Amino acid sequence: MKKKQIDQIFTIWQKENPHPKTELNFVNNYTLLVAVVLSAQSTDIGVNKATKALFAKVDTAQKMLDLGEEKLKKYISTIGLYNGKARNVIALSETLVKKFNGEVPENIDDLQSLAGVGRKTANVVLNCAFNHATIGVDTHVFRLANRIGFVDEPNVLKTELALVKAIPKKWQQHAHHWMILHGRYICVARKPKCHECNIFKLCEFKNKTST
């Protein structure tokens, strides 16, 4: 897709939603990190339900260690894969306390050294906690970016790198959120809602539907 077209799409999204934000609830950088780890293959709504009571009591890595894995599991038992996620949250909290003075580090390598933190999660944390212009590529961003013609790549890493090249710098701070929201609510996986779509004319998907 041409840069001008990409620019037009982001202009539309910005007018519609000038300050897009994550739909995950959190109270500080640590709880943001935990929420993003818990959200893997789960909905933000489901994570928010579980973390409401948890984050009211536990908002630091040390408090999480004091809580312990078994009690943590009780808080998050409604979230898919909660056993493994609880293990990761305890392990990453241990690392934060031991290596990072309890603070969430502000660089991708240190973030990726934490249990349960992959590149997407690291990018989301850098973006939401530290205002880095990173583009976390989750399932929605991957599908949308390749479907509408921003990029044409076979996997998430190549998609992220191609998006960084394709998207004009001025849009990169919020690009991740605009794409997630569009993918989550309009350009959904099975039957995209093309008839409701505000970028219908600019989208290059070959199988757009008019109803």
Q: Where are the beta strands (DSSP E) in 48-131?
A: none
Catalytic residue (choose from 21, 66, 99, 120): 120
Position 199 contacts ligand SF4 (CB under 6 A): yes
Span 160-189, contacts to ligand SF4 by CB under 6 A: 186-187
Chosen residue from 143, 147, 174, 176 binding ligand SF4 by CB under 6 A = 147
C-beta atoms surrounding 26 within 10 Å: 20
52 is catalytic: no
Chosen residue from 148, 174, 179, 181 binding ligand SF4 by CB under 6 A = 148
| Shorter beta-carbon distance to ligand SF4: residue 147 or 184 | 147
| Shorter beta-carbon distance to ligand SF4: residue 78 or 209 | 209
Position 91 contacts ligand SF4 (CB under 6 A): no
Tell me how far CA of residue 108 lies from CA of 60, 89, 153, 155, 182, in angstroms.
20, 18, 22, 19, 26
Position 193 contacts ligand SF4 (CB under 6 A): yes
| Shorter beta-carbon distance to ligand SF4: residue 42 or 198 | 198
Residue type, 147: R
- CA 120 to chain centroid, in Å, comes to 7
**Residue 141 CB, nearest approach to ligand SF4 (Å):** 13
Q: With CB under 6 A, what is the number of residues at the site for ligand SF4?
A: 13
What's the CA gap between 106 and 145, in Å, rounded?
A: 26
Q: State in Å, rounded, how far the first CA of the chain is from the last one.
A: 24
138 is catalytic: yes
**Residue 163 CB, nearest approach to ligand SF4 (Å):** 15
**Residue 16 CB, nearest approach to ligand SF4 (Å):** 13
**CB pairs under 8 A, 24+ apart, for 140-144?**
140/179, 140/180, 140/182, 140/183, 140/184, 141/176, 141/179, 141/180, 141/183, 143/183, 143/187, 143/189, 144/179, 144/182, 144/183, 144/187
Position 205 contacts ligand SF4 (CB under 6 A): yes
Q: Are 24 and 36 contacting, i.e. CB atoms less than 8 angstroms apart?
A: yes
Q: Contact positions toward ligand SF4, by CB under 6 A?
A: 147-148, 186-187, 192-194, 197, 199-200, 203, 205, 208
Kindly list the catalytic residues.
Answer: 120, 138
